[in-house]
Amino acid sequence: MSRFSSSSWRLAAVCVPFADLFIPDGETREGSGEANRRNRAAKGICVPCPVRRECLSDALSTEGTDSPYQRAVVRGGMSPHQRATLSVVDRERLIREGQTGPPGPR
Protein backbone atom coordinates (compact mmCIF):
# COMPACT_ATOMS: atom_id res chain seq x y z
CA MET A 1 0.00 0.00 0.00
CA SER A 2 1.27 3.49 -0.78
CA ARG A 3 2.18 5.58 2.25
CA PHE A 4 0.11 8.39 0.79
CA SER A 5 -3.52 8.89 -0.14
CA SER A 6 -4.40 9.46 -3.78
CA SER A 7 -3.46 13.15 -3.65
CA SER A 8 -1.60 13.76 -0.36
CA TRP A 9 1.69 12.68 -1.94
CA ARG A 10 1.84 16.11 -3.57
CA LEU A 11 2.48 17.66 -0.15
CA ALA A 12 5.82 15.82 0.03
CA ALA A 13 7.02 16.85 -3.44
CA VAL A 14 10.53 18.29 -3.29
CA CYS A 15 10.24 20.13 -6.63
CA VAL A 16 8.02 22.96 -5.39
CA PRO A 17 10.91 25.46 -4.98
CA PHE A 18 12.13 24.58 -8.49
CA ALA A 19 8.88 25.15 -10.33
CA ASP A 20 10.63 26.85 -13.23
CA LEU A 21 12.12 23.47 -14.19
CA PHE A 22 8.87 21.54 -13.86
CA ILE A 23 6.26 23.84 -15.35
CA PRO A 24 6.18 24.10 -19.15
CA ASP A 25 7.17 27.59 -20.28
CA GLY A 26 5.28 27.27 -23.55
CA GLU A 27 8.42 28.03 -25.55
CA THR A 28 10.89 25.22 -24.91
CA ARG A 29 10.40 22.48 -27.48
CA GLU A 30 10.79 18.88 -26.27
CA GLY A 31 14.00 17.44 -27.72
CA SER A 32 15.77 20.82 -27.96
CA GLY A 33 19.05 21.50 -26.20
CA GLU A 34 17.28 23.73 -23.68
CA ALA A 35 14.66 21.05 -22.95
CA ASN A 36 17.42 18.47 -22.45
CA ARG A 37 19.24 20.79 -20.04
CA ARG A 38 16.06 21.39 -18.04
CA ASN A 39 15.24 17.68 -18.02
CA ARG A 40 18.69 16.76 -16.65
CA ALA A 41 18.41 19.35 -13.89
CA ALA A 42 14.87 18.26 -13.02
CA LYS A 43 15.79 14.57 -12.91
CA GLY A 44 18.51 15.40 -10.40
CA ILE A 45 15.86 16.95 -8.16
CA CYS A 46 13.59 13.90 -8.52
CA VAL A 47 16.26 11.38 -7.44
CA PRO A 48 15.84 11.87 -3.67
CA CYS A 49 12.13 12.73 -3.82
CA PRO A 50 10.15 10.54 -1.38
CA VAL A 51 7.09 10.50 -3.65
CA ARG A 52 8.78 9.66 -6.92
CA ARG A 53 6.83 6.43 -7.37
CA GLU A 54 3.47 8.10 -6.69
CA CYS A 55 4.34 11.02 -8.97
CA LEU A 56 5.34 8.79 -11.87
CA SER A 57 2.21 6.68 -11.46
CA ASP A 58 0.05 9.79 -11.54
CA ALA A 59 1.81 11.11 -14.66
CA LEU A 60 1.49 7.84 -16.54
CA SER A 61 -2.15 7.32 -15.63
CA THR A 62 -3.21 10.86 -16.58
CA GLU A 63 -1.16 11.17 -19.78
CA GLY A 64 -2.48 7.98 -21.35
CA THR A 65 -1.10 7.64 -24.85
CA ASP A 66 -0.09 11.29 -25.34
CA SER A 67 2.94 11.83 -27.57
CA PRO A 68 6.17 13.21 -25.99
CA TYR A 69 5.22 16.62 -27.34
CA GLN A 70 1.91 16.64 -25.47
CA ARG A 71 3.50 15.69 -22.15
CA ALA A 72 4.68 18.20 -19.60
CA VAL A 73 8.36 18.18 -18.62
CA VAL A 74 9.96 15.72 -16.18
CA ARG A 75 7.61 13.89 -13.82
CA GLY A 76 8.53 11.08 -11.47
CA GLY A 77 12.14 11.27 -12.61
CA MET A 78 11.38 10.54 -16.25
CA SER A 79 11.39 12.83 -19.27
CA PRO A 80 8.34 13.11 -21.54
CA HIS A 81 10.14 10.98 -24.14
CA GLN A 82 11.03 8.29 -21.60
CA ARG A 83 7.43 8.10 -20.37
CA ALA A 84 6.03 8.03 -23.89
CA THR A 85 8.26 5.13 -24.95
CA LEU A 86 7.60 2.79 -22.02
CA SER A 87 6.14 -0.57 -22.96
CA VAL A 88 2.52 -1.18 -22.02
CA VAL A 89 3.65 -3.76 -19.47
CA ASP A 90 6.12 -1.37 -17.80
CA ARG A 91 3.59 1.49 -17.87
CA GLU A 92 0.94 -0.62 -16.15
CA ARG A 93 3.44 -1.93 -13.58
CA LEU A 94 4.68 1.57 -12.71
CA ILE A 95 1.13 2.90 -12.40
CA ARG A 96 0.22 0.02 -10.09
CA GLU A 97 3.36 0.39 -7.95
CA GLY A 98 2.64 4.05 -7.38
CA GLN A 99 -0.84 3.23 -6.17
CA THR A 100 -0.14 0.15 -4.09
CA GLY A 101 3.62 -0.03 -3.51
CA PRO A 102 6.11 -2.45 -5.06
CA PRO A 103 5.48 -6.21 -4.99
CA GLY A 104 6.98 -8.19 -2.13
CA PRO A 105 6.46 -8.89 1.57
CA ARG A 106 4.14 -6.49 3.35
What is the contact surface with ligand SF4 in residues (CB under 6 A)? 13-15, 22, 45-46, 49, 51-52, 55, 75-77
Minimum Å gap between C-beta 59 and ligand SF4 is 8
Give Dmax over CA atoms of the chain in angstroms: 46
From residue 85, give the alpha-carbon distance in Å to each of 8, 79, 106: 28, 10, 31
Minimum Å gap between C-beta 42 and ligand SF4 is 7
Q: Which residues pair with 99 in a beta bridge?
A: none
Q: Which is nearer to ligand SF4, 49 or 84 (CB)?
A: 49
Q: Which is nearer to ligand SF4, 57 or 67 (CB)?
A: 57
Q: Which is nearer to ligand SF4, 18 or 69 (CB)?
A: 18
Minimum Å gap between C-beta 29 and ligand SF4 is 20
Helices (DSSP H) in the chain: which residue ranges?
Answer: 19-22, 33-46, 52-63, 80-84, 88-100
Q: Do you know the residue count of the chain? A: 106
